Structure 1
Amino acid sequence: MNNIYEFLSQKNNCELLIVNDDKQAQIAYDIASYLGYEPFVLSDFRANFGDDLLSFNEELQEITKALNGFYSYKKQNKILISPIRTITYPMPKAKCFDNFTINFADTLNLEEFKSKLYNWGYYFVDIVTSEAEVSIRGDIIDICPLGSQTGYRISLFDDEIESIRKFDIEDQKSFKEEIESFTITPAFLALDDLTFQEINEEVQKVESDAFIKDIHSLGFWYLNDLGEYLPSNMNSFITYEALDELEEVYVFEEKRINKDKFLSLPLVAKSQEYKNIEVANVKEFITFHEGKKITIISSSEAKIKGFDLELSNKNINYVIKPYIINLVSNEEVIISLNKQIKKKRKKKVRLVLDELQVGDFVVHEKHGIGKYLGIEPVTVMGAKRDFVVVMYAGDDKLLIPVENIDLIDRYVADGSSYAVVDKLGKGSFAKLKEKVKDKLFAIANDIIKLAASRELINGIKIDTNKQILNEFQTKAGFDYTKDQVRSVREIFEDLSSGKVMDRLLSGDVGFGKTEVAMNALLATILDGYQAIFVCPTTLLATQHYHGIAKRFKEYGIVIAKLDGKTTAKEKTHIKKGLQSGEIQLVIGTHSLLEVKTKNLALVVIDEEHKFGVKQKEKLKALREDVHIFSMSATPIPRTLNLALSKLKGMSSLLTPPSERLGVRTYVKEYSEKLIKEIILREKRRGGQLFYVHNNISSMEAKKADIEAIVPNIKVQIIHSQVKPTEAEKIIDAFEAKEFDVLLATSIVESGLHLPNANSIIIDGADRFGIADLHQLRGRVGRSNKEGFCYYVVEDKKTITSDAIKRLLALETNSYLGSGTALAHQDLEIRGGGNIIGEAQSGHIKQIGYGLYLKMLEDALATLSGEIKQENKSVDIKLAISAYISSDYIVEDRVRLELYRRLSKAHSKEEVYTIEEEMEDRFGKPDIPTKQFLELILIKIYALGLNIKTISSYEMNITFIKEDETKVSIKSPSKDDDDIIATTLKYLRK
């Protein structure tokens, strides 16, 4: 920092400053801004020439944004800051950037507009969910220009722009006020038809293992005369840190600018005048340096007051900005009160698209498991309606009106089970449900009894208000995420409440659950009690033992490890130490279930879903008032979370730690050259690899293949048939870096934390579910090193278009916590069954996971004395045409999603809100769509009045109530609008 500050403050007329990496670029940005420059920062672009760039989409967009800004900024004080790896490739010239403005009341030639956006690198999608995407639906255009946080919705009247409004890309709702205009910049480059064509043709000819060859995946490599090596004609300087990196940049790359060009650039010298500082006590530091020019930088005045500094002090220059600069010289002091801001995470789209595919299994509450065949229009009594078609055994079909689509749910059991379709009308499913219901009542009863008995016991009160606990958090070496802060607070409240704690913390792998647990352990031990930390495997126990011992070192806590590897002599010693109270914390496996302690107050269970109910009961039985804190890496379904939270404390970590990087993801076709390159690339950076091959019988052959492709490589095999003790030895050897490649089945997808293994190859990726692929990807990139994940398919010509879509979605969504809608559904599947404890997979398999959870919730609610509304349905047989028409909404999956949301609506307000949203997104509903919305209103009114059937014949409309009473009324005509108006008038009365 000090060298860059001294250099830029001397006004060296620098136009291009070359730094080491992203971190240094951020420092340079803050300093340049503070000194009055207008800085533009290029992203740290770490691709190798010829790489498939879909995985580098974010970096390329950042580069486009920065260069666009730099070239269009016309004043003299601008500076371009670039990491060395980026600038060693040719960058697009100034002529590649342009923009155009969309104005209210302009005429818009739609074909020309589409063509321009296509050439400029925009993605055409159903729904716009991030920048550089556009969706054209009839006379409504949604677009999110590159660099914009919101989308823009253009409404056309014929070819004239009738209105422009911003909209929220999270929930797709537009803002009320109309705007006059907005500007569109290129998402890749501003190319005309001819240039776009030329680049695209060149890309097609290239020999590349990119899964799909197009301008998005390879265009950047073939700029030709559109690109230039930037140092050529700019006043450029390089930092000495960047020179160290320069060596590595050139080791494996021939397609970069001549290294000597960089070595001949003027160097930003080491600072003679300024020193970097870290200030613990700001006020005290200032008093030591009185008489110097003092500047305090803070993002807000409130923060300054929080540090007890006087804003009125004339001797201090206050700068209200987010910069982080901490320097001292003989003349001046600059101190920043700001903390490092985390990189903004991509927003998750709240609007989940229905991923129900034709051919998927579904469960109907009354009829059981069938196969979803799609939505079909059916004409009944001259009126057209949409029905969901579900096929049962013997090719029997069930037609469900779309307004009742909420009666079916996707069938989900565990990954390995294949659904067996039921027979329609046999009543066997009802009997099966009753059987499962009895079992569920027994489970729910146990859960409640246990919770009630623990509720009556006085818990051990732990003092959590010690200063030493706050200091422990600041010594973590990183800032806690807000979820971690909240979870620690919740646990401390439980421990100090005088009640017995039973809390479950769920959070994705590597999101910092152990750090939260350490706070509870420390509070308990410092208060004079003992604690136990139980893990499912020796490997995890060893990992936790080393990690916790390191963090607790300065507190003089006596810690022991007890697992399968502990010798008999050590076991005896540890057990004695626990009974005498000499050992305060023991970390281990199932061996801990039998131990006796002196004053145990807390049991922490890691990966709690790996323990059976009986084992968990044994732990609770160690002492009846012991606090239980469980951790699980599987998300808990929201619904079950609500049901269980009455009985159990629930906390969750949803934010990744700031130093974690996303995993770079590629989809590739198998080739020996590719496998060799991946393995050697990881080896060169001193790392190891996972190779997932999900077929035990051909494991040995695969091992021989890898060893033949890359001689001198060490490969070991692990799968479910390898004995547990042997498996642990293999993992230990892998962790000790005794071999390079762990060849495994998907068994590796849970629990392992091996920070040195940062590349994973998944063979036959098209045969895995999206959730498994997402979980497997989570095995790498677990330290501050970037992870690489390769989804490899045998032959891309033979895989289905759905599999391609699925893989490409994963390739472009590799940011942290990105698990797509489907992955979340599938991950939840694992979470729910586990919490209940006993392997209920048999029941889940019979009735499907969704229905199983719903029934468990009902059982819990009934036994807790809650009154749950019984799910009623109404059969509407009105001779009206009511459906969301495909002319109005073209995409089937969007229609299906709206059908699902409308069928679940419980109030008129919900229907009107969805109608408003539809009008906003797709324009005014046409007649059949408007009539479908009115049909949903009829359904809601009827449910409130206990009406079970509404039907019409000619002009007669009949209502039948639950108690079989019948009412008939007459409509003025048999036209759709009259039938609807008459029905609604009667129901509203």
Structure 2
Amino acid sequence: MNVALPTDRDLVSVEQLASRVLAGSPGQPTRVVGAAGGVTALVVRRLMASSSRPVVAIAPTLERAHALVGDLGFVLDPSARIRFFDPGEQSPYADAVPDRRAAQRRLATLFELTRLTEEPAAVVIPAPALARKVVPKERVRARSLLLELASEIERDELIRKLSDGGYLRVPLVEDPGTFSVRGALLDVWGPGAPDPVRIELDGDLVASMKGFDPDDQRSKDELEQLHLPPAREAGFDDQSLDLARDRLRDLCDAVNYPSTKTRALIDDLLMGRAVFGADGFLPAFGDLAPLGDQLPDDAVIVVEEPSAVSEALDAELERAESDAFAKSDEPSFPPEAFFVEREAVDRWLAQHLAVGLCNAPIFGGTEGALQNLAAVDDDTPSLGTRDQTELSRTLAAARAEGGHAASLGPLVASIESFREAGLRVVLTARSTTQAERLATMLRHRDLEVELLECDFDRAPLLSPPRGQPTVIVAVGPLERGLVAPAEGLSLITEEEIFGARSHRRRAKKPGRRKAQQMLEDLRSLAIGDHVVHVDHGIGRYEGLIHRDVGGHTVDLLVVSYAGGDKLYLPVYRLNQVHKFRGGDGDPKLDRLGGQSFARTKKRAKKKVRRIADHLLKLYAERQAAVGEATPAIDDEYRAFEATFPFEETEDQARAIDDVNADLELPRPMDRLVCGDVGFGKTEVALRAAFRVAMSGRQVAVLCPTTVLAQQHKLTFDGRFAGYPISVRV
């Protein structure tokens, strides 16, 4: 494999490029070609290491912006701050319900942008965002709150500020952008925060601030400071509402909108209702400002593929004009209320240090700052990098021809080529399980492999000495591999080896799910419903009351029992009760402090003991049965499971491990795998079937319906393609 990229241009390293950029001046951009794959992240990393300036990276599309965030997450230290502004793909003229969570993510990022001078960071922006106007930083800062431990604030004033900032008052905080009040306790979940915070007030003094788990309500570490960005882009203070009322009325009068519809529209928007097309009226609450104006004046701008960024920007502005024309006979703001002119983007870019990263040279005009970044000449240097497309195609062809394990041969050959050229080879995986799987397969091919998990030093890894013999397998979110001869580095992602994978959100722990189910159970309670207390038995739920206890207001659940007795249970002991789920008819109430519930529990325990004795005998007989053990896991199986197009959930991985352990025992397997639809049970069966079939035995899969049998056949055919396994119905 030819490692070097053929070029007759001067070859520069990432470090040399960063020095040229920082030594330049605004309006005189630096250009470079041969910038492919994940090299943008390496450039951003070097700029951040060489200067205290914030770095703003602009990608052509939303997809490539997400990829760049992943690349930065791998090359930067875990403590580095990465900010991503997502403008959303929805036009402000679309008749759609506003996405409250998306708006909160934008506001959280805008708030963080106001603090970049305090905490330098990398900011990633897709090209369409440059065309958008956003809530100005002055309004974001004015509508944000900073609470400090031992500071003073009146409870009612805090409630008013949260309401003006767009926070919703709810009985129980479960989502970002909401708050609840219970006497001296105030729970609030700010946009962008990982968890809600419980604030305890002692009069007007902030006595404590602790994060807590929204599922089980358990407190976490205490906080010294709490930043709360606004939760809605529209302001709901009196001044903003008065301005919105006047602007909306003028907007409707301009198109002779019926007065009844005008009043309804104004009422809905001023009340904060999520009506269709509400995002299109955001300028009524205050003028918006260009996104570029929210970024630090001393920021260094890195533009990935400037020509593609220019095209994406033009396309966004053309779409804005088209969408605005389609709404011209309805109340709507003109495009300039939401979008900036193309020339304004060029003027903003010309005021900063900027570098254009082009993969291939483009010779053309230099009109405007963006085009100027893309227009290279014969003297433009090259980074000499290339992506791993060639390797990815070679491995895909090998998998198609000889099965998944067949790709290991070409992969090892490529690794040897990189090493012979003096490059350090780093392979990345998104999970520790996948990294260990990959490392094991490479070690079986006589390669010396070092496994690095999440917390490792990036500096020696990405700035290596040449001729490093060890192959590195590292856990990280790298999206795009590359070959960088000038850096002495070759990065290869797991997707480039095994094919594309979908990445699921991490599932909640079972304990959290149980707590969540318990809370949902209690939220469905109505006065008069029957509940069961862990000690006192069956009672009747009478509602929630507030009592002053030691100068603090405490929420209490009231449960009545036989004889008119009542139990007052603090809400922080919710885990002691659950809703009664017996048969038809009303159950008999237990007596508070009586023995009837204790006797019921005793009888139940005896029945459970008899069932347990029977099960123990049954399982002892099954353990004595003799079966045939399946051969141990080999690289063929590891390559097969590595190509699973999803990341295994924690429970799914545990089920697979347990089934594999059963297969290697000399007795029949006796295991039941349970899970909801879509939780990955079929993959557990697929891997077990693969091991048994590849050992020369038959596998039968029983299905309840013919349709499901046909569906499973298609799934098995797809996963077993390239292997000598026949699938029939």
Answer yes or no: same fold by TM over 0.5: yes
- Which residue of the partner structure matches residue 306 of structure 1? 451
- Which residue of the partner structure matches residue 287 of structure 2? 226
Residue 53 to residue 144, structure 1, CA distance change in 2 (3 Å)? farther
- Which residue of the partner structure matches residue 275 of structure 1? 386
- Which residue of the partner structure matches residue 112 of structure 1? 157
Residue 371 to residue 34, structure 1, CA distance change in 2 (3 Å)? closer
Distance in structure 2 (CA, Å) of the matches to 1:76 and 1:159 = 31
1:388 to 530, 543, 559: 559
| Helix, strand or coil at the partner of 2:701 | strand
Shift of 1:521: 0.5
- Which residue of the partner structure matches residue 184 of structure 1? 228
Deviation per CA, 1:815-837: give whole Å up to 9, x if none: xxxxxxxxxxxxxxxxxxxxxxx
Residue 119 to residue 64, structure 1, CA distance change in 2 (3 Å)? same
Residue 422 to residue 522, structure 1, CA distance change in 2 (3 Å)? same
Shift of 1:471: 1.3
Distance in structure 1 (CA, Å) of the matches to 2:215 and 2:536 = 36
1:314 maps to amino acid: P
- Which residue of the partner structure matches residue 202 of structure 2? 157
Whether the 8 Å contact between 1:294 and 1:315 is mirrored in structure 2 is no
- Which residue of the partner structure matches residue 378 of structure 2? none
For structure 1, list consecutive stretches of 5 or more residues without a partner in the other structure: 378-384, 391-395, 562-989
1:495 maps to amino acid: L
Whether the 8 Å contact between 2:68 and 2:124 is mirrored in structure 1 is no
- Which residue of the partner structure matches residue 62 of structure 1? 105
| Helix, strand or coil at the partner of 1:328 | strand
For structure 2, list consecutive stretches of 5 or more residues without a partner in the other structure: 1-34, 48-53, 250-260, 296-300, 328-333, 347-355, 362-383, 392-410, 440-448, 496-501, 547-555, 591-596
- Which residue of the partner structure matches residue 215 of structure 1? 272
Distance in structure 2 (CA, Å) of the matches to 1:419 and 1:436 = 20
Distance in structure 2 (CA, Å) of the matches to 1:209 and 1:499 = 73
- Which residue of the partner structure matches residue 36 of structure 2? 2
Distance in structure 1 (CA, Å) of the matches to 2:211 and 2:57 = 36
Distance in structure 2 (CA, Å) of the matches to 1:29 and 1:211 = 40
Distance in structure 2 (CA, Å) of the matches to 1:18 and 1:176 = 37
- Which residue of the partner structure matches residue 542 of structure 1? 710
Distance in structure 2 (CA, Å) of the matches to 1:105 and 1:367 = 41
When normalised by structure 1's length, the TM-score is 0.44
Shift of 1:516: 1.3
| Helix, strand or coil at the partner of 2:179 | strand
- Which residue of the partner structure matches residue 586 of structure 2? 421
Deviation per CA, 1:269-304: give whole Å up to 9, x if none: 5535542116744852432432x7989999999998
The answer to whether residue 349 in structure 2 is matched with residue 315 in structure 1 is: no
Shift of 1:121: 2.0
Shift of 1:227: 1.8
Residue 261 to residue 327, structure 1, CA distance change in 2 (3 Å)? farther
Q: Over the residues paired in the alignment, what is the CA RMSD in angstroms?
A: 5.9
Distance in structure 1 (CA, Å) of the matches to 2:150 and 2:344 = 55
- 1:368-379 superposed matches below 5 A: 373-374=542-543
- 1:311-710 superposed matches below 5 A: 314-315=465-466, 323-328=478-483, 331-332=486-487, 334-336=489-491, 342=503, 345=506, 350=515, 352-353=518-519, 354-355=522-523, 356-360=525-529, 373-374=542-543, 388-389=559-560, 401=567, 410-412=579-581, 419-421=584-586, 451-561=619-729
Shift of 1:105: 3.5
Whether the 8 Å contact between 1:459 and 1:498 is mirrored in structure 2 is yes
1:222 maps to amino acid: F
2:71 to 30, 37, 57: 30
| Helix, strand or coil at the partner of 2:668 | coil
Residue 211 to residue 476, structure 1, CA distance change in 2 (3 Å)? farther
- Which residue of the partner structure matches residue 654 of structure 1? none
Distance in structure 1 (CA, Å) of the matches to 2:185 and 2:557 = 25
Whether the 8 Å contact between 2:131 and 2:345 is mirrored in structure 1 is no
1:532 maps to amino acid: A
- Which residue of the partner structure matches residue 140 of structure 1? 185
Distance in structure 1 (CA, Å) of the matches to 2:488 and 2:243 = 52
Whether the 8 Å contact between 1:42 and 1:66 is mirrored in structure 2 is yes
Distance in structure 1 (CA, Å) of the matches to 2:234 and 2:58 = 26
When normalised by structure 2's length, the TM-score is 0.58
| Helix, strand or coil at the partner of 2:691 | helix
Shift of 1:408: 7.9
Shift of 1:222: 2.6
| Helix, strand or coil at the partner of 2:163 | helix
Shift of 1:509: 2.1
Whether the 8 Å contact between 1:199 and 1:223 is mirrored in structure 2 is no
Report the identity percentage.
Answer: 22
Distance in structure 2 (CA, Å) of the matches to 1:244 and 1:548 = 46
Distance in structure 2 (CA, Å) of the matches to 1:248 and 1:74 = 34
Whether the 8 Å contact between 2:81 and 2:122 is mirrored in structure 1 is yes
Residue 540 to residue 107, structure 1, CA distance change in 2 (3 Å)? same
Whether the 8 Å contact between 1:64 and 1:188 is mirrored in structure 2 is yes
1:277 maps to amino acid: Q
Whether the 8 Å contact between 1:105 and 1:162 is mirrored in structure 2 is yes
- Which residue of the partner structure matches residue 95 of structure 1? 138
Distance in structure 1 (CA, Å) of the matches to 2:425 and 2:536 = 76
Distance in structure 2 (CA, Å) of the matches to 1:222 and 1:156 = 37
Whether the 8 Å contact between 1:294 and 1:332 is mirrored in structure 2 is no
Distance in structure 2 (CA, Å) of the matches to 1:306 and 1:58 = 37
Deviation per CA, 1:328-366: give whole Å up to 9, x if none: 256445444776995755865846432322244557999
RCO (CA 8 Å, sep 6+): is it higher in 1 or 2? 2
Residue 53 to residue 159, structure 1, CA distance change in 2 (3 Å)? farther
Residue 54 to residue 518, structure 1, CA distance change in 2 (3 Å)? same
Shift of 1:185: 2.7
Distance in structure 1 (CA, Å) of the matches to 2:589 and 2:476 = 68
Deviation per CA, 1:530-586: give whole Å up to 9, x if none: 11111111111111001101221322212210xxxxxxxxxxxxxxxxxxxxxxxxx
Residue 477 to residue 29, structure 1, CA distance change in 2 (3 Å)? closer
Whether the 8 Å contact between 1:21 and 1:44 is mirrored in structure 2 is no
Shift of 1:436: 12
Distance in structure 2 (CA, Å) of the matches to 1:407 and 1:16 = 52
| Helix, strand or coil at the partner of 1:515 | helix
- Which residue of the partner structure matches residue 704 of structure 1? none
Distance in structure 2 (CA, Å) of the matches to 1:370 and 1:424 = 5
Paired residue total: 541
Deviation per CA, 1:771-799: give whole Å up to 9, x if none: xxxxxxxxxxxxxxxxxxxxxxxxxxxxx
Distance in structure 2 (CA, Å) of the matches to 1:297 and 1:342 = 15
